[in-house]
Amino acid sequence: MNTRAKVVGGSKATSKGQTTIPKQVREVMGIKDGTPLTWTYEDGELTVRAKTRRLEDFVPLVPPNGRHATVEEMEEAIGDAIVERVQRSFGR
């Protein structure tokens, strides 16, 4: 099951260009103090990505027989992890 969760939040920029990531977004994404963020501006849209997963988190995707996971299997596992995190954060 690869379901996408949608969390919307808003904030304002300060005179120094700083902003606060809404608490709900931080919780769902697992963003903590020191979490690296990447900002991308393309075609009038700003995207912020948080690096909250490590390569080691994906090791269980490779079975002991050495078969490699496909990109689709990894994307599905990531989507499942996000949905699980959202559901836990809302107590579902």
**What pLDDT digit, counting tens, does each position of 7-27 carry?**
778 899 999 999 999 998 888
Write down the pLDDT at residue 58. 65
Write down the pLDDT at residue 3. 42
* Residue 4 belongs to some domain of the structure: no
- 62 and 34, same domain (yes or no): no
Number of domains present in the structure of the chain: 2
Mean residue pLDDT of the chain comes to 80
- 61 and 86, same domain (yes or no): yes
**What pLDDT digit, counting tens, does each position of 51-82 carry?**
877 666 666 666 666 667 788 888 888 888 88
C-alpha distances (whole Å) from 27 to each of 12, 15, 19, 59 are 19, 26, 16, 24
The reported pTM is 0.50
- 65 and 46, same domain (yes or no): no
Question: Does residue 92 have a pLDDT over 60?
Answer: no
- 45 and 60, same domain (yes or no): no
**Structural domain harbouring 71:** 53-92
* Residue 15 belongs to some domain of the structure: no
- 44 and 64, same domain (yes or no): no
Contact 72, 10 (CB under 8 A): no
